[in-house]
Structures are given as structure tokens and as C-alpha cells.
Amino acid sequence: MGLERNIVVDSHKFDVVVIGAGLAGMLMTIACGQNKIETGLFEKDVPGGILLKMDKIQNIFDHREITGKDLSYSLFKQATNNQYVKYFYGCVCFFQCLDNGRYLLATTNNSFWEVKAIVIAANLESDYLPKGMLKNNGQLIVNENNETIWKNVYGIGQVIGNKTSEDILRAITVILKNLQKSNLLNK
């Protein structure tokens, strides 16, 4: 633990880290930014996830019809055009609880972060996640607050079986309420 504490410097701290910049991760990040929560968004590939493979999406948010690529670009701009949000190109490969109840999170390019809460918005290829956190089908086990078996680690999007943008928006509301209720962000 001592070693890990030494690696993390003050500039490498966030209230919340969102893993994955697909639809779910970008919407979660927008909501965090609007609530003035210091948030890091990590994406191992191009932001957009599954959206980038979708030619036309109908009746989503204010759009009657939009390509997945355009929607992705618009959401990414909204998510990152906020002083409380920082975006990183990087693959999260590890996180573990520290003595102080926060999490140490690492990426494959050797950056280390200390965070109060984590929102997993990645896809089902989650080989870095503790096995006990997953069901047999690869989805995360979550409770009614979308919290995993680890405190302050949440799941959202396809990784918990959300199928539509409405499902994702509902999950975001629940997670934000829970974060605010836990007083975690004021510490």
C-alpha cells in the first residue's frame, strides 16, 4: 500500500473516474460535469464505442435521426467542454481499494490515479475486473443503486445490461443520487 500511495501525486486525483467513452460513459461524464464533480474519463480506443458502428439512430435525445458518429462527436464535445472534466486516451487495467477507502487506478501506459468513486461504462471484455464482480455472462453484479460488490464502484451501460439510452439515463440519476447521499464528494 505504501508504495502505491507514493506513486499517486496530487494532480492525479479525481472524485470520479469513468471507464469507457461509449454512450453510457459520455452521458455519465456530462452529468458529473454538470454537477461540478471532478471527473476523469478514460477511453482505450476512439470515443463512441458501439455508437460508431450505427448508421442511423432515430428519436434519441433532441434528434429525430442522427448517425452514431455524429451523436458520438456531439456527446464527446459536451462531455469534455467542462472545466471539471478531463479526458484521457488510455486503457484502465487495474484498480484496488486503498487504506483510506479510495481507489488506486492504473492504465496500461503506467499512469496511476487516486479516486473516490469509479463508474465502469466499459463493454463486456472486462478481464481486468475482479472475477467476483462479474456474473457468468460477463455482466457486472450490481444492486439497486447500480453499485457493484465494491463500495463506490458502479456499473452503467451494456456492462450491467442497459439496453437503451433511457435505461442509461435512469442509471445515471440513481448513481448521482447515491454519490451525493454518501457525502463522498465533500470529503
Ligand X SMILES: Cc1cc2nc3c(=O)[nH]c(=O)nc-3n(C[C@H](O)[C@H](O)[C@H](O)COP(=O)(O)OP(=O)(O)OC[C@H]3O[C@@H](n4cnc5c(N)ncnc54)[C@H](O)[C@@H]3O)c2cc1C
Q: Are 25 and 33 in contact (CB under 8 A)?
A: no
Interaction with ligand X in 34-93: which residues (CB under 6 A)? 42-45, 49-51, 54, 57, 60, 91-92
Establish if 155 lies at the interface with ligand X (CB under 6 A). Answer: no
Q: In 3-state terms, what secondary structure has residue 70?
A: helix
* Grid coordinates of 132: 467476483
Contact residues for 3 (Cβ-Cβ < 8 A; gap 6+): none
Establish if 185 lies at the interface with ligand X (CB under 6 A). Answer: no
Residue from 17, 23, 41, 66 touching ligand X (CB under 6 A): that is 23
Site stretch for ligand X (CB under 6 A), options 1-9, 16-24, 33-41, 138-146: 16-24
Sign of the CA dihedral running 64, 65, 70, 72? positive
Establish if 165 lies at the interface with ligand X (CB under 6 A). Answer: yes
Residue from 33, 118, 157, 176 touching ligand X (CB under 6 A): that is 157
Q: Which of 79, 85, 155 is nearest to 122 (CA)?
A: 155
The site for ligand X (CB under 6 A) is made up of 19-25, 42-45, 49-51, 54, 57, 60, 91-92, 121-123, 128, 157-158, 162-165
